[in-house]
Chain A
Amino acid sequence: MRRIRPGVWLAALVLALLVLAAALPYLFTGQDPLTVDSGATLRPPSAEHLLGTDENGRDVFSRIVYGTRASLLLGFGAIAIALAAGGLLGVAAGLGNRFVENLIMRLSDVGLAFPELLLALVVITVAGGGTTNAVLAIGVANIPNYARVVRAQTLSIRRSTYVEAARALGLSGPRVVFRHVLPNAVKPVLILATIGVGTALVAGSALSFLGLGTPPPEPEWGSMLSTARAFISRAWWYGVFPGAAITLTVISVTVVGRALRLRSEGRTW
């Protein structure tokens, strides 16, 4: 096996810890993220409060830990929706006849004309805010993109020499699709989706930051920053650490995704 760069290991480790924190947050902190302590508001980082406290005296570190679940859900959930719906449409466009292909592609043209965040805002205006709606909104906004990518992938494999070789061998159409086209299309799309999780997470937490995603007092990184905004002149830690959590997550996801991509292209990690 080829050597894996230490940075990639580190990123994978961070991701694993994040997933663990999302599943079992109490392993990482003994403090409750919702307990209000009016005697200890906006305290700087200390031994007791590792990353300080917020305007209600809640522990910032434990709020970040408990916020992992909502934030990861925004990223992974949205991409899962986009991948499932976009994947189906893309495969249909890539394998279907001209009419089906044209219909799906022109619809995705329209969809692509709307910036992700703006489309999400429309969904939220109609359906209202909240974590679930934010996931849905970001997911829906990403469908056209994935439909395009999956179609392009399917088409290029359909035109490859190995698919022609399989036909020349006498394999039936459906067998060629299920044995060669689809399995080969899955991997690059999944890798792309890994990198997409990062951008979806940023978009989702942006919605929370705008007060349209996860509502307070539920901990979520974007909404923490939204409240922190009013206190940045007095409590730098409040504005710094939740954002650092988002950035670290996005970097880890991107590093792992790029490493997978390089590997699948046959380059070193």
Chain B
Amino acid sequence: MTALLKVEDLRVAFGGTAVVDGVGFEVRRGECLALVGESGSGKSVTARTLVGLTGDGAAVEAGELSFAGRDLRRMRERAWRRIRGGRIGFVLQDALVSLDPLRPVGREVAEVLAAHTGLSRAARTARVAELLAEVGVPEPELRARQLPHELSGGLRQRALIATAIAAEPELIIADEPTTALDVTIQAQVLDLLARIKSEDRSLLIISHDLAVVARLADRVAVMKDGRIVEQGPADRVLRAPEHAYTRALLAAIPAEHTKGTRLSGPAEAVRLARPEPGDVVVRVDGAGKSFRGPDGVARAAVRDVSFTLRAGETVGIVGESGSGKTTTARIALGLTEPDTGSVEVRGRAWAGLGRAEARTLRRDIQVVYQDPLASFDPRYTVDKVLAEALAVAGVPRERRRERSVELLELVGLDERHLRRRPLHLSGGQRQRVAIARALAPEPAVLVCDEPVSALDVSVQAQVLDLLDDVQRRTGVAYLFISHDLGVIYHACDRVLVMKDGQVVEQGPVERVFREPEHHYTRELIAAIPRLTTA
């Protein structure tokens, strides 16, 4: 196999700071190379540099940067335009924002044909339909006339892929092509990408997710802080990683086999035993809730949901977007009043409580959000955030500072963080502060709504380990909401599988994952991208 794309000693700097440094790799004809790394590793900048769109104020240097034998380093804008879309197709993540929201998707595909082929207008229209059919869009003529928002996430991503392959380029670069998608759709799009790879069409996949990549890549290059730390055949890199970072990255992925182990390396201290499940702390019985849509029609967000949560236990709720997970969480928290059914926290029902009583009950059930930054008043320092929570919990003023420091130490931070603002903390530190705040009133239950979804896998591992440690130490119960089945399997004792507002299956997590009863659960589990390692 000959190299189609060759990169040697690539360095990209913004304002003097190198974000990519000394990167070298090649993509051979007909192969799929995956560039894997966490946020800030420089993988997306590298991808954009390959089509000459690094961005404003970027300084690009390279020992070699060539595509099909042509030097890309001193290419003129005119020549670039023939390459982009014509010989290198590019798929950006999340088609909702990567397709012009005001133009029909067919026109976006036709735009490529107009720029790179000599097809007549009529021929272009026909070809657009063919292309859409090729990527698996049903009713292509109709869909071509629709706007991106009228298509489902999966169809949109397929349409975006159609724009990338329209002019039959030799290389497709896909930057996080499945990140914004639900797991079942993600599996379909990965299949499609595998299908468009051929003898004369190579693939360069950029991803943060090793498991996604494992399904497609012939070779893998792992990036960290602007450098490639390891590259080689996918099997070798994923089964027998040589670099410590690759090993840590692989170990940090939560899944079946990681259950009961620490993801972020061994704990310093002796681990406490997991608490035995105790009294019921949350009982949700037949809860249902409808919301009136913008068209005035009421739609059920949640129907007949029942479950219990015991002290010291973790119950997961898993489901795809729109399945009613978050509404269920809000009902449990007493922030959304259910139309039907009842919710009890430590034996007291939300319904019928006076305002003051409800506020007292809130101390027993606290919440951690997906986006911790948005959950802090932007004017507050960590100190004020915690002091406010402690004040509500009735801790006297003179004890608050001491308690704040204790809470910070419990979540792996310390006194120095008190004066900082959440804005100036890292994503992982912010989530730790959010957990500390939630623990301030010493609640019996913590509702975690996608607490690790916005985090890189290594940070996610630390936060999952932290939650586990906290539970071992305090015996708090978790209601753990996630779309990520690996995270759920790793972190939960029992699980509820939700679809379209209903619980389709619930039970101990091992049982549900190994012997799923409901066909939807089976579908979900089959779609999980897996590493073939053990």
Nearest CB of B to A194, in Å: 19
B261 interface hit (Cβ, 8 Å): no
Q: Residue B437 contacts which of A164, A169, A180 (CB distance < 8 angstroms)?
A: A169
Shortest beta-carbon contacts, A-B, top 3: A170-B362, A161-B374, A165-B375
Contact pattern, B 247-267, Cβ under 8 Å of A = 1, otherwise 0: 000000000000000000000
Q: When A184-B377, A184-B378, A266-B423 are in contact, do A168 and B362 touch as well, CB less than 8 Å?
A: yes
Q: Residue A165 contacts which of B359, B369, B441 (CB distance < 8 angstroms)?
A: B369
Nearest CB of B to A175, in Å: 9
List residues of chain A with CB under 8 Å of any chain B CB: 160-162, 164-173, 179-180, 183-184, 266
CB pair B360–A165 under 8 Å, yes or no, is no
Q: Residue B388 contacts which of A167, A169, A172 (CB distance < 8 angstroms)?
A: A169
Nearest CB of A to B439, in Å: 11
List residues of chain B with CB under 8 Å of any chain A CB: 333, 335, 355, 359-360, 362-363, 366-367, 369, 371, 374-379, 388-389, 392-393, 423, 437, 441
CB pair B392–A169 under 8 Å, yes or no, is yes
B361: nearest chain-A partner, CB-CB: A170
Contacts of A160 in B (CB 8 A): 374
Q: When A165-B375, A183-B379, A184-B378 are in contact, do A170 and B335 touch as well, CB less than 8 Å?
A: no
Nearest CB of B to A248, in Å: 32
Nearest CB of B to A169, in Å: 5
A161: nearest chain-B partner, CB-CB: B374
CB pair A170–B360 under 8 Å, yes or no, is yes
Q: In the bound complex, how far is the Cα of B376 from the Cα of A160, in angstroms?
A: 10
Contacts of B333 in A (CB 8 A): 168
B437: nearest chain-A partner, CB-CB: A169
Contacts of B366 in A (CB 8 A): 168-169
CB pair B335–A168 under 8 Å, yes or no, is yes
CB pair B375–A162 under 8 Å, yes or no, is yes
CB pair A167–B374 under 8 Å, yes or no, is no
Contacts of B441 in A (CB 8 A): 169-170
Contacts of A171 in B (CB 8 A): 359, 388, 392
CB pair A162–B335 under 8 Å, yes or no, is no
Q: In the bound complex, how far is the Cα of B423 from the Cα of A161, in angstroms?
A: 15
Contacts of A167 in B (CB 8 A): 335, 362
13 cross-chain CB contacts under 8 A: A162-B376, A162-B377, A162-B378, A164-B335, A168-B335, A169-B362, A169-B388, A169-B437, A170-B359, A170-B363, A173-B355, A179-B388, A184-B377
Nearest CB of A to B418, in Å: 18
CB pair A172–B355 under 8 Å, yes or no, is yes
B333, B376, B378, most chain A CB atoms within 10 A: B378
B384: nearest chain-A partner, CB-CB: A179
Contacts of B393 in A (CB 8 A): 170
Q: In the bound complex, how far is the Cα of B336 from the Cα of A168, in angstroms?
A: 11
Contacts of B389 in A (CB 8 A): 169
Contacts of A179 in B (CB 8 A): 377, 388
Nearest CB of A to B438, in Å: 8
A264: nearest chain-B partner, CB-CB: B378
Contacts of A172 in B (CB 8 A): 355, 359
Apart from A162-B374, A168-B366, A170-B360, 4 more pairs, CB < 8 Å: A169-B392, A169-B437, A171-B359, A172-B359
Nearest CB of B to A189, in Å: 15
Contacts of A266 in B (CB 8 A): 423
B334: nearest chain-A partner, CB-CB: A168
Nearest CB of B to A163, in Å: 8
Q: In the bound complex, how far is the Cα of B367 from the Cα of A165, in angstroms?
A: 8
Q: In the bound complex, how far is the Cα of B375 from the Cα of A165, in angstroms?
A: 6
Q: In the bound complex, how far is the Cα of B371 from the Cα of A165, in angstroms?
A: 11
A173: nearest chain-B partner, CB-CB: B355
Contacts of A173 in B (CB 8 A): 355
Contacts of B371 in A (CB 8 A): 161
A164: nearest chain-B partner, CB-CB: B335
Nearest CB of A to B397, in Å: 16
Q: In the bound complex, how far is the Cα of B369 from the Cα of A97, in angstroms?
A: 28
Q: In the bound complex, how far is the Cα of B243 from the Cα of A221, in angstroms?
A: 73
B359, B363, B366, B441, most chain A CB atoms within 10 A: B359
B360: nearest chain-A partner, CB-CB: A170
Q: In the bound complex, how far is the Cα of B360 from the Cα of A167, in angstroms?
A: 11
CB pair A170–B369 under 8 Å, yes or no, is no
Contacts of B379 in A (CB 8 A): 183-184
Nearest CB of B to A52, in Å: 48
Contacts of B375 in A (CB 8 A): 161-162, 164-165
Nearest CB of B to A114, in Å: 31
Nearest CB of A to B336, in Å: 11
CB pair A168–B360 under 8 Å, yes or no, is no
Q: In the bound complex, how far is the Cα of B365 from the Cα of A169, in angstroms?
A: 9
Contacts of B367 in A (CB 8 A): 165, 168
B376: nearest chain-A partner, CB-CB: A162
Nearest CB of A to B337, in Å: 13
Q: In the bound complex, how far is the Cα of B374 from the Cα of A170, in angstroms?
A: 18
Nearest CB of A to B421, in Å: 11
A163: nearest chain-B partner, CB-CB: B377
Nearest CB of B to A160, in Å: 7
Nearest CB of A to B302, in Å: 18
Nearest CB of B to A265, in Å: 11
Q: In the bound complex, how far is the Cα of B379 from the Cα of A244, in angstroms?
A: 39
Q: In the bound complex, how far is the Cα of B388 from the Cα of A161, in angstroms?
A: 16
Nearest CB of B to A40, in Å: 57
A160, A162, A183, most chain B CB atoms within 10 A: A162
A164, A167, A168, A184, most chain B CB atoms within 10 A: A168
Q: In the bound complex, how far is the Cα of B423 from the Cα of A108, in angstroms?
A: 36
Contacts of B359 in A (CB 8 A): 170-172
Nearest CB of B to A172, in Å: 6
Nearest CB of B to A43, in Å: 53
Q: In the bound complex, how far is the Cα of B380 from the Cα of A184, in angstroms?
A: 11
Q: In the bound complex, how far is the Cα of B393 from the Cα of A250, in angstroms?
A: 50
